[in-house]
A and B are shown apart, each in its own frame.
Chain A
Amino acid sequence: MTSALIADGLTKRYGRRSALKDCTLDIPAGHVVGLVGPNGAGKSTLLQLACGLLDPTAGRIEVLGARPVSGSPQVGFVAQDTPVYAGLTVADHLRMGAHLNPSWDAALAKRRIDQVGLDPAQKAGKLSGGQRAQLALTVAAAKRPNLLLLDEPVAALDPLARRNFLQGLMELTAEQGMSIVMSSHLVADLERVCDHLIVLVASRVRVAGDVDDLLATHHRLVGRRRDTADLGAGRALVEQSHTEVQSTLVVRSTAPIVDPSWQVDRLDLEDIVLAYMSGATGDGPDRVLEGQR
């Protein structure tokens, strides 16, 4: 498995504040990878380090096997809130893209602009949020990068614009086979478009894996209150909550759980992500991460 992005002890400090602290992860290439986590987990910092906009304070980062360089033709970046140049027209954006990028695919850019119905003469400042996002995606994709990084690209969009954006993104993925890493809070969207997911909490990878595997191996167990120390081999406790009489557990287990004293339910991806995010306190991380790979 080749890697799109490798971080090793990666740290970014602003004065005394750490935006990313000792982050170690390995993002596989050839996937659409979702990066989720609470605000302040370091997702944006990680993406900005990956496209060379920031330099690390400590540690190592490798993107497509090399140290990231700002403006690399191999890496496309769509920043948070999909910024565009308000005073320039849609056509100006494409001309600028062509001028700045030797690998620019003018046919692709034109086709996408037509497809999403953007008027080339329109000033970018007059575009709707959804149109602006489509323009930013077009400019990033027409570079024909091997890796596309997107930071919360759909957070500010209405549901229809969001769906349109993700349709466009997936179509580009299907056509060009590029690797994608996108951060988002909208886990339901990520469940559709991502085949690999990373949950980042306080610069730490809480869980990483293929979406299908994550869905297949996580279970919610509800039953009479009991000591959770003995879950059995091959089972990892992700999250637990107890009342006087009842225990509710989120458990990761590759083997099916057949135990009539528990009611066993499936979890959707959002439930799984939330379990890892809220299970992050206490004795968690190292035990939970056992057998992750």
Chain B
Amino acid sequence: MKWGGEVIEFHLDARSGVAPYMQLIRQVRHALRLGVLNEGDKLPTVKEVVARVAINPNTVSKAYRELEYEGLVIARPGLGTFVTRTLVGDSLSKHEPLRQGLARWLTEAREAGLDDESIEALFLSSFRAFSEARG
């Protein structure tokens, strides 16, 4: 909880191979999912992020634009960027049935003779292709 001022601090993992703007987006979504960020909360200004993380301002703007496009935040000129909705509860209730579906799939994969690493590799490559195809 906080009153006024910005809530979250960003950080960058330089060796992840994930584009910096995407890392920022993920950190905001993560904070929304965990309830660290709530409706009405203000994100740090571009200048604040830049000064703290030593990151390109265009990258921060790009991340904020993307979040705005997703409908998660809104930019109010002269005031800052504010959270418009939260992601808490959005998905948590759906976790259990999904987990069960995944367990069934894992059993099938085992029965087909795949070992742990093959399963992991198959999942990761499918997941990556899936998310890349969806942009």
Residues of chain A touching chain B, judged by Cβ–Cβ distance below 8 Å, are 31-32, 163, 166-167, 169-171, 173-175, 188, 191-195, 211-212, 215-216, 256, 258, 260, 263-268, 271
Number of B residues near A (Cβ < 8 Å) is 30
A191's nearest neighbour on chain B, judged by CB, is: B14
Contact of B112 with A by CB under 8 A: no
| Shortest Cβ distance from residue A207 to the other chain B in the assembled complex, whole angstroms | 16
What is the bound-complex CA distance between A87 and B125, given in angstroms? 61
Given A32-B56, A167-B52, 19 further pairs, Cβ under 8 A: A167-B50, A169-B54, A170-B55, A188-B15, A191-B20, A192-B12, A192-B20, A195-B59, A211-B19, A212-B19, A215-B17, A215-B18, A258-B129, A263-B121, A263-B125, A265-B17, A267-B17, A268-B14, A268-B16
Contact check, A170 vs B51: say whether CB atoms are below 8 A apart: yes
Contact of B53 with A by CB under 8 A: yes
Known A163-B54, A191-B14, A195-B59; contact A175-B19, beta-carbon cutoff 8 A: no
What is the bound-complex CA distance between A267 and B132, given in angstroms? 15
- Within 8 Å CB of B16, what residues of A? 268
What is the bound-complex CA distance between A212 and B51, given in angstroms? 21
Q: Of B17, B52, B56, which one neighbours A193 at CB under 8 angstroms?
A: B56
What is the bound-complex CA distance between A213 and B75, given in angstroms? 25
What is the bound-complex CA distance between A265 and B125, given in angstroms? 9
Contact check, A192 vs B14: say whether CB atoms are below 8 A apart: yes
Q: Of A191, A195, A216, which one neighbours B58 at CB under 8 angstroms?
A: A195
Contact check, A171 vs B47: say whether CB atoms are below 8 A apart: yes
Contact check, A170 vs B57: say whether CB atoms are below 8 A apart: yes
Contact check, B54 vs A166: say whether CB atoms are below 8 A apart: yes
